[in-house]
Structure 1
Amino acid sequence: MIYLTGNNLTMDTVERVVFQKEKVALEGAARLAIQKNRSTVEALIASRDTMYGINTGFGKFSDVIIDEADLDTLQLNLLYSHACGVGSPFSESISRVMLLLRANTLAKGHSGVRIELVEQLIAFLNAEIHPVIPQQGSLGASGDLAPLSHLALTLLGEGSVYYAGKQQDANVAIRKAGLSPIRLKAKEGLALINGTQAMTAVGVIAYIEFHRLLIQSEHISAMTFEALRGIIDAFDSALHAARGHKEQEMVAARMRILLADSKLITKQGELRVQDAYSLRCIPQVLGASWQTLLYAKEKLEVEMNAVTDNPLIFSEIEKVISGGNFHGQPIAFAMDFLKLGIAETANIAERRIERLVNPQLNDLPPFLSPNPGLESGAMIMQYTAASLVSENKTLAHPASVDSIPSSANQEDHVSMGTIGARHAFQMLQNTRRVIAIELICAMQAVEYRGIDRMSLSTRKLYKAARLQVPSITQDRIFSKDIETLANWLKHSWHKIDEQQPVQQKW
């Protein structure tokens, strides 16, 4: 059981809730804080003080005072008018993270909601009711208004959800799960949709996937290193200690362990003096990609435990403060930085693919073809990798440098952080296919070198991957192989490095 306090979410706990379906509950002190905060809101409403979003309109309508009799209707109208999301829905995993993050931020006791609202979010998590939330439509400031409105409406029994393996009407799913729709009170609609939970949820899943993908890339690049008879001296600990980037040092250490017993690697001067950068600089490039991942993790874990709605209610001083904690700039920057690490992981992998298939750069059969000329072998797989890498370059353009004013220029600077997070996630899917292509080519190449001469680690990978795709004995529809391996990398090959002494927990 995970007990939400508003302060204790980590990547590990999110993974347990999202993927292992661990149950969630409110911690006792958080429950008391929420109840006390709601009492403050009700007292302030009774005092008839003007409070943004509680008894006023929203955005440019913030100067419009709302009659007390219409305060609940105001919140419902907010959700209806803001549910303008379009495009394909987020995955169930991302929807699930959004529920968890929204519950956690409300648990901090500064949002003025009733305990029943937080319990409804938690009930959705525990019953595995996942809102169907369109991906597009958020500017990433004033919160992820459109996507979170779609989430909020499902709590009321409106819109669609994923439940019991299919998409269905929210009200039907709620009843099937033994729950009831809720009705919103003053402040609660705004508390549900002001925040960065969409961009942060996408960022969290992107972090989890990129963490796994980087480890996989190290293993696959080690196999390529063997196939091209790489020079192991480039991974010497003294060389990397001389520079001092710990992530670079850790990648080099893992490469040394992965290749320790290989009979395919070479020494400096044995075949050549130096390797090409795509082999020699694996620790420098992947180490820098690890740095982008660690930066993103730091910012995401802060945001997971942040209060990001507006206004905030401080019970201790009986004060309502309007501000801008909903602005997604920190996550926008983190996602744009993460995109660089994702892009370069694919870039360097594609260059290794080229070295595996280009007969001018190796002594292997041209394009790894079993019958060069009659059969093209891996020739067009390199084209596909190049195409994916090029697409990544366009997606890597920073979303955070763009801003379009909204709400009649009241909201005149926005983060576009959700776009940055979505692009990072798209780039990950492209990059996984690139390293799948590298794995196909590396396996084919090491067969020419001698599987029995591989290291134990790379041979283990070879055997597991060969259960997914067979050796290339003649041309076939390679698209199927690429997708099969990419799917395997995403869903099945989770724990591949058993060398724990250097597999630091990032």
Structure 2
Amino acid sequence: MTELVLKPGEATLADWRAIYRGAVPKLHESCRPKIKASADTVAKIVAKGEPVYGINTGFGKLASVRIPAADLETLQRNIVLSHAAGVGEPMPVAITRLMMALKLASLAQGASGVQPKTVALLEAMLANDVVPVVPAQGSVGASGDLAPLSHMTAAMIGVGECFTPHGRVPAKVAFVSHGLEPLTLGAKEGLALLNGTQFSTAYALAALFEAEVLYHSALVVGALSTDAAKGSDAPFDPRIHALRKHKGQIDSADALRALMAGSAIRESHRVGDERVQDPYCLRCQPQVMGAALTVLRQAADTLGTEANGVTDNPLIFPEDGTALSGGNFHAEPVAFAADMIALAVCEIGSLSERRIAMLVDPALSGMPAFLTPKPGLNSGFMIPQVTAAALVSENKQKAYPASVDSIPTSANQEDHVSMAAHGARRLIGMVENATAVIGIELLAAAQGCDFHAPLASSEPLEAVRKAIRAKVPHLDEDRHFHPDMEKAIALVRSGAVIEAANAVKLPEIGG
């Protein structure tokens, strides 16, 4: 695994993407003095004996309960164990690692009051691939992602389970086998570890990174479908998009035009084609995909900012020795970003399904019904289009904004919550659905272009056809369709479609 130097507060989306893909974060040395100064400040507050929320008081509705100094370690352990109340399937390991890295970067900014050894343990767990088993359900995205982060923290004190290179084992066993020492939590530490938006942010970032692959693949496959339908590239003319001025639209049109440049299929119908306009699913690709690009870029900006922030409570300010209680743990920015990603993913899949429907309809495509040479005897692409429609419909149901919901918790102390955790957690499934739709479209578009032989598409699009044809042959007669679909979906998910078309620079979403 590649090591990545992480500078807390200054990490790029490329850094977080690399960690999600497997890189191991190592903190920049410049943060070490800040961590120590923050821990020293907490020690001074404890020594003074004055009541400070989260350090020597109860939590939430119990904030007025004063805790004696002799019980502070027990207080921190109790909050971890009592709050580790999640349910459901464990988080995917890659997303849990990302959550741990986000928490690491937050704590290392010196505003959380944790001990240097606490930060060092998170680093060591990531370096040794010791990843807590964290149930994925139980956060409302308000007073931090309390339940999932508590499960992460429980593993750090030797409670619960961890995934390791040797399988799923009790946390204590994982620590012993990797030479790690479980924490004894000091004042403020339990609260600092379990309070924050890192669970919601990790899920949202993971979905953003997968949505980048989805968006780029959809652009490439949409261009291939345009050629398959003998559609026009005139709607991609830069003069059209310059007049509307949306950068996402301009960038999407530029990519589509470049993808089709030099296509013999396109050249073949410049003269004598009686069609005046293409259906919206072809003609309005720059407008729809451009809007999706703009939304994804805004979400990327929000999540990049959130990933570099400090979101626990209270916050420690060593410069004047104060601890301030606020609401940085409220995940409303993440909730909005997650909803934006959901809308974009939903529309990308929806437009793709319409292109599939257009290709299988002989009245619109001018090709054999359901893209099979012998319709009737063969059903061809009839039911794959139905599957695409089912997936798009499922995504529509999931795309309803989570951020407009709220339910009071903690005896009405936490009376407005963001639902960022739910909003972010649904996204990976939505991207998977849309990825499957793009995979089906890839098969249909390649099949459609086959009917135009010996005419070829553009160089980048022919490279894409070559990539799919290396896995899936042309469909002459009906055969077991599922394996073909799985291969095409895998090509999309892996980024191989984008790689095949790499002669064209596709628009960036996040740095």
**1:298 matched to 2:266:** no
Matched residues in 1 for 2:271 and 2:22: separation? 47
What are the Cα deviations for residues 91-133 of structure 1, in whole angstroms up to 9, with x where unaligned?
1110110010000000110100000001111111111222221
| Equivalent in the alignment of 1:159 | 160
Whole-angstrom distance in 2 between the partners of 1:397 and 1:362: 33
**SS of the residue 2:276 aligns to:** coil
Matches within 5 A, 1:418-433: 418-433=421-436
Distance in 2 (CA, whole Å) between partners of 1:165 and 1:470 is 39
Which amino acid in structure 1 is aligned with residue 391 of structure 2? L
Tell me which amino acid in the other structure corresponds to 2:502.
E
Amino acid at match of 2:73: D
1:497 is displaced (CA, Å) by 4.0
1:82 deviation in Å? 1.0
Inter-partner Cα distance in structure 1 for 2:504 and 2:387: 34
Establish whether residue 142 from structure 1 lines up as the match of residue 146 from structure 2.
no
Amino acid at match of 2:471: Q
Aligned to 1:467: 470
**Structure 1 pair 262/271, CA: closer, same or farther in 2 (3 Å)?**
farther
Contact persistence 1:268–1:274 (CA under 8 A): no
Change in 2 beyond 3 A, CA 1:297/1:505: closer
Equivalent position of 1:11 in the other structure: 13
Q: Contact 1:232 / 1:267 at 8 angstroms: preserved in 2?
A: no
Matched, 1:374 2:377: yes
Residue 478 (1) aligns with residue 468 (2): no
Cα drift, residue 268 of structure 1: 8.2
Question: Aligned partners of 2:502 and 2:138: how far apart in 1?
Answer: 42
Cα distance in structure 2, aligned partners of 1:485 and 1:5: 39
Which piece of structure 1 moves more, 28-37 or 406-415? Answer: 28-37
> Any idea what the Cα deviations from partners look like across 1:55-96, whole Å, max 9, x if unmatched?
111111111111211111111111111111111222111011
2:443 aligned residue: 440
Distance apart, 1:244 and its partner CA: 0.7
* Segment of structure 1 superposing worse, 130-139 or 159-168: 159-168
Distance in 2 separating the partners of 1:43 and 1:29 = 23
Q: Does 1:193 align with 2:194?
A: yes
Q: Once the 2 structures are TM-superposed, how far is the Cα of residue 482 of structure 1 from its aligned partner?
A: 2.1
Measure, in 1, the Cα distance between the counterparts of 2:299 and 2:454.
38
- The residue that corresponds to 2:402 in the other structure is 399
SS in 1 for 2:374: coil
Q: Could you say what secondary structure the match of 1:399 adopts?
A: coil
Return closer, same or farther for 1:63/1:313 CA change in 2, 3 Å cut-off: same
Q: In structure 1, what is the Cα distance between the partners aligned to 2:337 and 2:17?
A: 20
Alpha-carbon deviation of 1:137?
0.8
CA distance in structure 2 between the partners assigned to 1:45 and 1:431 by the alignment = 53
1:239 match? 240
Report what 2:319 is aligned to.
316
3-state DSSP of counterpart to 1:316: coil
Give the C-alpha shift of residue 480 in structure 1. 2.7
Alignment-mate amino acid for residue 498 of structure 1 = N
Partner AA of 1:193 in structure 2: L
Unaligned runs of 5+ in 1: none
Preserved CA contact (<8 Å) 2:293 2:509: no
Equivalent position of 1:90 in the other structure: 91
Query: Are the equivalent residues in 2 in contact too, given 1:33–1:109 (CA < 8 A)?
Result: yes
Q: Mark the CA change 1:199 to 1:352 in structure 2 (over 3 Å): closer, same or farther.
A: same
User: Equivalents in 2 of 1:366, 1:56: separation in Å?
Assistant: 71
2:221 aligns with 220
8 Å Cα contact 1:9-1:305 kept in structure 2: yes
Q: How far 1:502 sits from its partner (Å)?
A: 5.9
Partner deviation per Cα, 1:9-46 (whole Å, 9 max, x = no partner):
1111122233242x433323311011011111011001
The CA distance in 2 between the partners of 1:287 and 1:183, in whole Å, is 51
Amino acid at match of 2:15: T
2:185 alignment counterpart: 184
Which range moves more in the overlay, 103-112 or 172-181? 172-181
SS in 1 for 2:46: helix
- Higher deviation after alignment, 248-257 or 394-403: 248-257
1:46 maps to amino acid = A
TM-score (structure 1 length as normaliser): 0.96
- 1:242 aligned counterpart, secondary structure: helix
Identify if the C-alpha distance between structure 1 residues 247 and 497 changes in structure 2 by more than 3 Å, giving closer, same or farther. Answer: farther
Counterparts in 2 of 1:485 and 1:451: CA distance versus 1, 3 Å: farther
- Per the alignment, residue 341 of structure 1 pairs with 344
Distance 1:393 1:268, change over 3 A: farther
- Indicate if the aligned counterparts of 2:463 and 2:501 stay in contact, CA closer than 8 A: no
Residue of 468, 479, 487 corresponding to 2:490? 487
Cα 1:492/1:5, change in 2 over 3 Å: closer
Per the alignment, residue 78 of structure 2 pairs with 77
2:125 aligned residue: 124
The one-character-per-residue Cα deviations of 1:285-307 (angstroms, maximum 9, x if unpaired) are 10111011101110111111111
- Give the 5 Å matches for 1:327-338: 327-338=330-341
Partners of 2:255 and 2:90 lie apart in 1 by: 38
How far apart, in 2, do the equivalents of 1:463 and 1:41 lie? Answer: 62
Give 2:167's aligned amino acid: K
Q: TM-score, normalised by structure 2?
A: 0.95
Letter in 1 for 2:350: N
Query: Aligned to 1:337, what secondary structure does the other structure show?
Result: helix
Aligned to 1:41: 42
After superposition, the Cα gap between the structure-2 partners of 1:214 and 1:225, relative to the gap in structure 1 and judged at 3 Å, is same
Report deviation, 1:165.
5.5
Q: Aligned partners of 1:232, 1:485: CA distance in 2, in Å?
A: 25
The answer (yes or no) to whether the contact 1:358–1:366 under 8 Å persists in 2 is yes
Following TM superposition, by how much is the alpha carbon of 1:501 offset from its aligned partner in structure 2, in angstroms?
Answer: 5.4
Q: Which amino acid aligns with 2:142?
A: A
Aligned CA RMSD, in angstroms, stands at 1.6
Secondary structure of the corresponding residue to residue 73 of structure 1: helix
Of stretches 290-299 and 158-167 in structure 1, the one that deviates more from structure 2 is 158-167
